[in-house]
Amino acid sequence: MDKLLTFPDQSGMTLSIRAKAMLFHDPRSSELLLQVERIARSDATTLIIGETGTGKELIARHIHNQSERRGPFVAVNCGAFSESLIDAELFGHEAGAFTGATQARSGWFEAANGGTLFLDEIGDLSLALQVKLLRVLQERQVVRLGARHPIPLNVRLVAATNVDLHKAIAAERFRSDLYYRLGVATVHLPPLSERTGDILPLARHFIDVYSGKLKLENVTLSADAKLALLSYEWPGNIRELENVIHFALIVCRDNQIQAEDLKLTGISHRHQNHHARQAPVAAAPLSNADSFQQQLSVLVNSMIDADQPDLFERLEEGLVRTAFDTCNRNQVQTARVLGISRNILRTHLKRFGLIGFEAGADIAAVGAVAGGHGELLQH
């Protein structure tokens, strides 16, 4: 069974932009999970890098849960507080340290003592706070605002960002010494579009979650809906997928989600023809053989459901035409991509009218291949 990560209490997270579930079905995700669990067994400061909605906090919680730490997990969004507040919130303050500080208060570092402190959006910290954070990491102690004596700490720090910290360092908005201190262990969390094997299992999970709330039973995804989900760019990642499934369950009929029920309003679909022609190398790559087979199965099933005539012929022609266009009509490169000889490729190119006939013998060769229909796949 695929490993599922969720928050312990999701009731108060309705409006959250965070990913509320992660599944590790895609081989790339499975490898990521193994890496995360290896990191968790150490006590290394960890930096998680990934887009919004990819599940950075869920990864941080899993690191804590898989570690030997018995203290609390404390999550802080560095971008949610003003500059004047976050200093006192992080490091604590004594009574009278500033106007309104009527009593002493511990900060988040102290609250997480013995456990893990997760600092999200670490790239939003000011340079002054970065200096203080670096000192805390180096000295393993914190000094409250208005205090003179340090408080020793036993805290594991896990930080996360969706900012390119290398660019921030070059622009002098982030300290390089803090970056190297944070990134003792680094986790690069790929966007959902690069772990396509997770899309349908996650969709199924959200269907199960929201079906109960909407009093629906045995809701399924049609073949065209599956293809639409797999083809979409997912700029909002897992959080967007959750919203799309929730909306689809509200509007779907007969307990089946169709492609038209999916409110896909982001950037684009990866497999639009004009996109493939204009920028074939920019299309999101298939992450692995399993997800490729999954997408191919959905496509074939949708064509079968549509009672597509000459199915084999259409698939074969589509494969050859797409490869030929993607390789800028270079026959040698196209043959290499398809894993066939150039002579066999030329036969198919002539058969589909992509190049002209050169001799009568070519006609016989085309007829022989057309009669067999299997030579392309055998090579």
Amino acid identity of 262? L
Exposed/middle/buried for 1, CB within 10 Å: 0-12, 13-18, 19+?
exposed
How many C-beta atoms surround the C-beta of residue 364 within 10 A? 10
- If asked whether residues 50 and 182 sit together in one domain, one would say yes
Residues 348, 329 within the same domain:
yes
* C-beta separation of 193 from 152 below 8 A: no
**Are 80 and 219 in the same domain?**
no
Q: How many CA atoms lie within 13 A of 85 on its CB side?
A: 7
For the chain, the domain total comes to 3
Looking at the fold, whether 57 and 142 belong to one and the same domain comes out as yes
Nearest-5° Cα angle at 158, 82 to 119: 10
The answer to whether position 354 is within a domain reads yes
pLDDT digits (tens, 9 = 90+) for 109-148: 999 999 999 999 999 899 999 999 999 999 999 988 888 8
In terms of domains, do 170 and 206 share one?
no
**Pick from 300, 327, 357: which residue ends a domain?**
300
Q: Provide the percentage of residues in the chain whose pLDDT is more than 90.
A: 52
Tell whether 60 and 174 lie within a shared domain: yes
CB 60 within 8 A of CB 171: no
Domain that residue 238 falls in = 195-300
Provide the residue-wise pLDDT of the chain in tens; the chain has 379 residues: 578 999 886 655 544 567 889 999 999 999 999 999 999 999 999 999 999 999 999 999 999 999 989 999 999 998 888 777 888 888 888 887 777 777 888 889 999 999 999 999 999 899 999 999 999 999 999 988 888 889 999 999 999 999 999 999 999 999 999 999 999 999 999 999 999 999 999 999 999 999 999 999 999 999 999 999 999 999 999 999 999 999 999 999 999 999 999 988 754 444 443 343 333 333 444 445 556 666 677 777 766 766 667 778 778 888 888 888 888 788 888 888 888 888 788 888 888 888 875 433 444 443 444 444 444 333 4
Domain boundary among 245, 273, 300: 300
**CATH (domain of 177):** 3.40.50.300
> Rounded to whole angstroms, how far apart are CA atoms 118 and 66?
15
Please write the tens of the pLDDT for every residue from 296-321. Answer: 777 777 667 666 677 787 788 888 88
Do residues 159 and 145 share a domain?
yes
Is 35 within the bounds of a domain?
no
Buried b (16+ CB within 10 A) or exposed e, 211-242: beeeeeeebebbbbbbbbbbbbbbbbbbbbbb
Look at residues 300, 324, 345 and tell me which one is the last residue of a structural domain: 300
Nearest to 6 by CA among 162, 238, 271: 238
Cβ contacts of 84 within 8 Å, gap of 6 or more: none
| pTM (2 d.p.) | 0.69
Query: Is 169 in the same domain as 212?
Result: no
Q: Are residues 206 and 66 in the same domain?
A: no
Q: Which two tokens stand for residue 268?
A: 């684009």
Q: Are residues 242 and 270 in the same domain?
A: yes
CATH of the domain at 286: 1.10.8.60
